[in-house]
Amino acid sequence: MQHDHPGFTESLFNAVPRCLPKLDARFRPLAVGIRNYRNKLAECGERDQLHIALEQSGDSITRKEIALFPEQAGRDADNLRYASWILNFLIWARGGWRVFLQGPPRLCAALAAQYAPDGAHAFDARLMEQAFARPFEVSIVGLQGLPDAKAKSLSLGGHLEGCRIGFDLGASDYKIAAVQEGQVVFSTELPWDPRNQLDPAYHYDRICAGLRLAAAHLPRVDAIGGSSAGILVENRIRVTSLFRAVPREVFREQVETFFPRLQQEWGVPLEVINDGDVTALAGAISLGLTGILGIAMGSSEAVGFLDRAGRITGWLNELAFAPIDANPNAGTDDWSGNPGIGAAYFSQQAVNRLAQQAGIPLPSELSLPERLKQVQERMQQGDAAAYAIFASIGCYLGYTIPWYAEFYDFDHAMILGRVTSGAGGEVILSRAREVLSSEFPDISERISLFLPDENSRRVGQAVAAASLPLINR
């Protein structure tokens, strides 16, 4: 889906970055556009204000206030772009089923219309409805109608005693590990094709087979922890591309109860959370760090966050769907169809798209993981076109870290996932650091970017997932 943004050529957000990706001349990073907007706003004497409240539950509400150009400044289109990107990012970062808006009436009405059934963000509203099992609402209120901010956190992870199994479900394979008293005694990756399977029995049987394989390397099983792409609430799958082929009525009956049934069958404590949060948890366990934003680049983009106290926040962190590119004709992902979102820039999809721009011939019959493997093999051989692909992804990353820092308070960005395996990962990291140093020196000094070792990148999430449940003894 392409969104109509009249006048974007003259927009404050149509800013060419200093470090333009070699394979993507259309890239217009939000971090640069928003800096331009705010610099221009600083020259304006008067301001309007927009107040946003986003409700996840009664004990979890996010608040944000942003300054805008006044109506007489003639910047209504840029005001709407700016507010729309802020709100949309908040929705995917924090999650929520109800939005409260207080501010300029025309702007609030335009934002609300974007989440209507025929609006630009109808997909986003539908997924929030699925995630929170409630109709998605946008309410325009007065200042007295804005709820106060509230926060909660989870206390999962870091438990390595006993005999545990951990798994990490991806779109092309899933990783599984057996952990005994904190030591990995077995780990492997098992191929599967979940997204094309109509019958969820396929998923259930394949995962059980992996659990039995890991259990064979342990004297007993005390707990099971899992990491999965998608949105999970209290071990229940609400939204995930892994089951996208399953009919909706079957999804409600068999997929939402998938992990509770697994727990009942195995008879041990079981916890499953979003794969992005497990990414961050893996970094915290292996490196002893907190204030971590974990970014996994695989079949899609998975993001997780541990705050400075080392706590999982309970936020959605579904940044695969959050905007990073201001260009209305930017690349799209293969599910939402929305332009300029993370999944199209930090994933196998991105490698495939950039390979076309680089002139690398990839047979159409190959799957995305197979295409990635061919590009990585070229990279290992010193191929310049393959190098340009990973350098372009690194450029995207360098411009995205400051934008993410608008919404997350972190000191460390841990980059991992299948796309970062091999020499390409170092290129991504090096180019990202160059961009930060050139365009955002303050961020470059404050936030460290790093890759974990190769083994951690491939199976570390399964090991961290194993540490999720607390064993009751």
pLDDT band at 2 (very low <50, low <70, confident <90, very high): very low
- Distance of alpha carbon 220 from alpha carbon 16, whole angstroms: 58
- Distance of alpha carbon 113 from alpha carbon 119, whole angstroms: 6
Q: What is the pLDDT of residue 155?
A: 64
Cβ pair 170, 299 in contact under 8 A: yes
Q: What is the pLDDT of residue 459?
A: 47
Q: What is the pLDDT of residue 1?
A: 37
* pTM of the predicted model as reported, rounded to 2 decimal places: 0.86
- Domains and their CATH numbers in the chain: 44-145 (no CATH), 163-269 (3.30.420.40), 278-461 (3.30.420.40)
Pairing between β-strand 48-57 and β-strand 60-68 as defined by DSSP bridges: antiparallel
Across 16-23, average pLDDT: 95
Cβ pair 426, 454 in contact under 8 A: no
Q: Which tens digit of pLDDT belongs to each residue from 42-94?
A: 998 889 999 999 999 878 899 999 999 998 999 999 999 999 999 999 999 99
**SS (HEC) of the chain:** CCCCCCCHHHCCCCCCCCCCCCCCCCCCEHHHHHHHHHHHHHCCCCCEEEEEEEEEECCEEEEEEEEECCHHHCCHHHHHHHHHHHHHHHHHHHCCCEEEEECCHHHHHHHHHHCCCCCCCHHHHHHHHHHHCCCCEEEECCHHHCCCCECCCECCCCCCCCEEEEEEECCCEEEEEEEECCEEEEEEEEECCHHHCCCHHHHHHHHHHHHHHHHCCCCCCCEEEEEECCEEECCEEEECHHHCCCCHHHHHHHHCCHHHHHHHHHCCCEEEEEHHHHHHHHHHHHHCCCCEEEEEECCCEEEEEECCCCCECCCCCCHHHCECECCCCCCECCCCCCECEHHHCCCHHHHHHHHHHHCCCCCCCCCHHHHHHHHHHHHHCCCHHHHHHHHHHHHHHHHHHHHHCCCCCCCEEEEECHHHCCHHHHHHHHHHHHHHHHHCHHHHHHCEEECCCHHHHHHHHHHHHHCCCCCCC
CA angle 127, 14, 440 (to 5 degrees): 85
Ranking 34-43, 251-260, 264-273 by mean pLDDT, the lowest is: 251-260
Ranking 124-133, 292-301, 325-334, 339-348 by mean pLDDT, the lowest is: 325-334
Ranking 93-107, 153-167, 195-209, 413-427 by mean pLDDT, the lowest is: 153-167
